[in-house]
Amino acid sequence: QLVHLSAAPRAQLASPPASLTASGVPHEGISEGPLLPVKTEATEGAEPVVLARVAPDPEQPLNCEPGLALDGHRATETSVHGFTHVHRCDRAILEGARRLFHCHGWPGPDDGPSRQYISELLGLRRLRRGQKRPKRPVSSVAYLGWALEPLGAAGEAGAEVAAAAILSVYRYKGRRRCACLEFIASRLHGAGAALIGLACRFLGELGILRLFSGADLSRPLALAAHERWGFHAVDLQEWAYAGLCFYGSGDVQYMLLDLRAPAEELAGAEGAAPALPQRLEGGVAE
């Protein structure tokens, strides 16, 4: 899917260009699903409003060296893509997403576990000396969404990943049929919120109507950001019934975005794209 735009559990949303991060480690509590080492999120400070076209924010700096040109990818305007299984993603896109996550979202000395887990989800974990193949295969449930923006002057060949989000999608029956927002990072105004909207459409097509996430309450604006996106708090029992792991550190509010909610609630703000339907039911896409 390709969506043109104008102008994501544990992060603070602030006015651009601020971007804050946090991480959590799940404990071995009641969980039917696999225990993951780190699941966390960092987002830009954009208002969660999907408009008609994405415009780069010239005042928003990049927290790392200059962007990576993607061979074979040319962009004349910013566009949002996905969600695509990591097995099917172009290597250059995966590398660009990892660069964004590592440099813009989790660059700190204490963020090593997050960076390692991101690389594992993307299938880009480096092999150790003498190791012929990774100990664990690429995640079979990881999907990537990303935003591309032109690199350099108008008309110049090349593009770079300006926003990215990783979803774990569980196509089980009953309560375990859900998705979990693993990581989201953006340095482009509005692109992070657009990825959330695109995730809703993608999951609706699969007949998955529940998107879980978590808000780190140590970040003052994290809870408000999730609420603007349409998430609401859930208890530990509902989280456990979905087969998701818990976090063993930090003060986390477990949350759920119900994709059967009215479209205006999912949009989270006035001025949302009018093409959204009233409801998502039975796998009908937005």
74-127 pLDDT, tens digit per residue, is: 556 788 998 999 999 999 999 999 999 999 878 888 788 889 989 999 999 765
* C-alpha of 115 from chain center: 14
Predicted local confidence at residue 186, as pLDDT: 81
Q: Which parts of 88-186 fold into alpha helices (H)?
A: 91-100, 112-122
Q: What is the rounded CA–CA span in Å between residue 185 and residue 43?
A: 5
In which residue are the tokens 């029956």 written? 173
Predicted local confidence at residue 75, as pLDDT: 54
The pLDDT tens digits of the residues spanning 49-82 come to: 222 222 233 333 333 333 334 545 555 678 899 8
Predicted local confidence at residue 37, as pLDDT: 35
Which segment, 54-63, 183-192, 261-270, is predicted with the most confidence on average? Answer: 183-192
- List the strands of the sheet with 252-258, edge to edge: 2-4, 79-85, 142-150, 159-171, 177-186, 210-216, 252-258, 232-233
What are the Cα distances from residue 43, in Å, to 173, 201, 261? Answer: 31, 20, 23
Residue, of 206 and 274, whose pLDDT is higher: 206
In 3D space, the residue among 54, 121, 43 whose CA is nearest the CA of residue 81 turns out to be 54
Architecture of domain 2-267 in CATH?
A: 3-Layer(aba) Sandwich (3.40)
